[in-house]
Amino acid sequence: MNDTLLNRRRAGLLVPVYALRHEKDLGIGDTRAVMEAIDFASTCGFSVLQILPIHETLGDYSPYNPISSRAHSPALISLAPEEVPGLTREILDQIAPESWVSQLRADNVRYEVVLPLKTQTLLTAAYQFFAQPRGPEHEEFEAFCRDQGGWLEPYTLFRLLMQEYEGTSQWYDWRPEHQTYDGARSWILRHPQSAALELRRTAFAFIQWVSWRQWRSVRAHADAKGVLLMGEMSFGVGLNSVDVWSNPSLFDAEWSMGTRPLTHFDTSKNSERWGQNWGFPPYRWENHRASGFEWVRGRVLWEKEFFHGCRIDHLRGYFRAYMFPWRGGVRHVEFSNLGPEEAMVLTGGLLPRFIPGPDDEEASVKLNDLQGREILAQILDAAGEMDLVAEIMGVIPDYMARTLEDLDLANLVFPQLEITPEGDIPEPSRFRETSLVTYANHDNAPLVTFYRHLVVEAAADPGGESARTLRALARFVGLSGDPPPEIDDDLLMRFQSALFHTSGKLAVLMCSDLFGIPLRFNLPGSYGRGTWSDRLEFPIQEYLAHPVYGPRIAAVTRLIRETGRGVGGEQVPEKSAPK
């Protein structure tokens, strides 16, 4: 483990796929945009490109709330005719005329338009492909369907039924014969239009085949450019997912997973009292164990098809889950202003709880530790040569820290969350080497916003937590005197330099923190239209020639080389940020 991404000092760049742009996109980033991001990373000296989960989503469109643990999002597929068998320029122009697409391209992602548009185009291409004379590509498609049949068969039936119900994936509201996989299989066999329905199922399989081909091409392009791709495996799947529908014994649909209130995250108001309720059904680990953890291992093996490394979301949850006796989304909002006694009236006396148990009770700690180690051993074994990075940050229980060391599992480290009781961030040389060090990811405010918040809060309360954090960060980046009110080019460079001088093998800048812009991708606890939709202002290559961002990128490129994180990984003496 850790002999690819973390075999030497590296610099990485994080950018969500949907946030990328290119001149011919259809209102959302896609695989072609990722290839351009790989070129950009290579040019600038980044040897790792990190992205968010790429699985299919609906509703709130969060990449962490997929309707399938395997199926890729059709929205992220490039619709260049040469990259989609069966697709022609005439089909594309008819379904997606440039006058319309240019409007979509100018805005943030409008999923309610983009996803149906791309899905319709791909389904049309599928029928064209099926009508063509049989050739090598048809043989490749059939082999894909055979090899991936274990998840593809229920997925395509689920997607077919979603069309029957006007796009909804809330399978528990479907007709009784459709509420189970076995019932739906019997239904389609008896249907008078069974042949036509099966053809539509095959068209949905075609979409996944096209995505599989494109993402494998993305990886091949990364290999050619000397860039390692880091994907992510979300912790859970949505209640309205094909996985829960087809494998109900693996999930507990009566409860909902999330986190208790977190002091180190800014969240929506709806999450302040009870925490984040993701709406995921918890795992019934005893049933996963009975199947040899086949479902979990299958997810990991699928990620290996496309990525050199993978971030494992919410590692704490494999040790113990925080569970709500009510659903997420709007239902969670209804509880946001209720106290414990009021909530218990609505839940029959139940309140959120940890399973197996909390981390402050000795008996439950032993159970938590046993569970986490067992599951992680399966994940690590399935991952093989694919490096894993655990999303676990801030102060963690001793038993979890021991597990990271025992398994040689890398973890995420945020310097601003590592402040010691004495009020300092550890010296750069004292960071865990087997770690990914960063200031922000998709859930965090970018540096310019985070810093501005600290300055305002510190001025209002000089003795408060924000003032303490501001002072610690100022010392960490080598800043003397009073911190300036905003991050300018000099201070931005100090932050970047301090990060790259840490002893963590992989130092990653979110794209917002590379450019020094306030672009944020998610506010934890938020949902609905407009979330997970913010995009970069330009195609990423255009930032190189920008009068403001170009010099900032050039400075980081020099910094990558000077700190031994560039190609070749030349080692340099550890030092503090510039004084």
Give the mean pLDDT of 175-202.
97
Residues 301, 241 contacting (CB under 8 angstroms): no
Q: Is the pLDDT of residue 577 over 90?
A: no
Q: Is the pLDDT of residue 568 over 70?
A: no
pLDDT of residue 273: 82
CA distance linking residue 378 with residue 295, whole number of Å: 11
CA distance linking residue 79 with residue 92, whole number of Å: 8
- The pTM assigned to this predicted structure is 0.94
pLDDT of residue 264: 52
Give the mean pLDDT of 554-567.
95
Taking only the tens place, the pLDDT of each residue in 328-371 is: 888 898 998 899 999 999 999 999 999 999 999 999 999 999 99
Residues 512, 440 contacting (CB under 8 angstroms): yes
Q: Is the pLDDT of residue 302 over 50?
A: yes
Q: 96: which DSSP letter? A: S
Q: Is the pLDDT of residue 574 over 60?
A: no
Residues 394, 414 contacting (CB under 8 angstroms): yes
pLDDT of residue 575: 43
Give the mean pLDDT of 550-565.
98
The residues, ordered by sequence, that sit 6+ positions from 504 with a Cβ below 8 Å of its Cβ are 413, 431, 432, 433, 435, 436, 437
Confidence of residue 572 (pLDDT cuts 50, 70, 90): very low
Confidence of residue 576 (pLDDT cuts 50, 70, 90): very low
Q: Is the pLDDT of residue 26 over 60?
A: yes
Confidence of residue 569 (pLDDT cuts 50, 70, 90): low
Residues 332, 411 contacting (CB under 8 angstroms): no
Q: Cβ–Cβ contacts within 10 Å for residue 539, how many?
A: 17
The residues, ordered by sequence, that sit 6+ positions from 29 with a Cβ below 8 Å of its Cβ are 16, 17, 18, 19, 20, 21, 22, 76, 535
CA distance linking residue 413 with residue 394, whole number of Å: 7
Taking only the tens place, the pLDDT of each residue in 408-458 is: 999 999 999 999 999 999 999 999 999 999 999 999 999 999 999 999 999
- Of the two residues 387 and 261, the one the predictor is more confident about is 387
Q: Going edge to edge, which strands form the sheet with 321-324? A: 276-280, 256-259, 321-324, 353-355
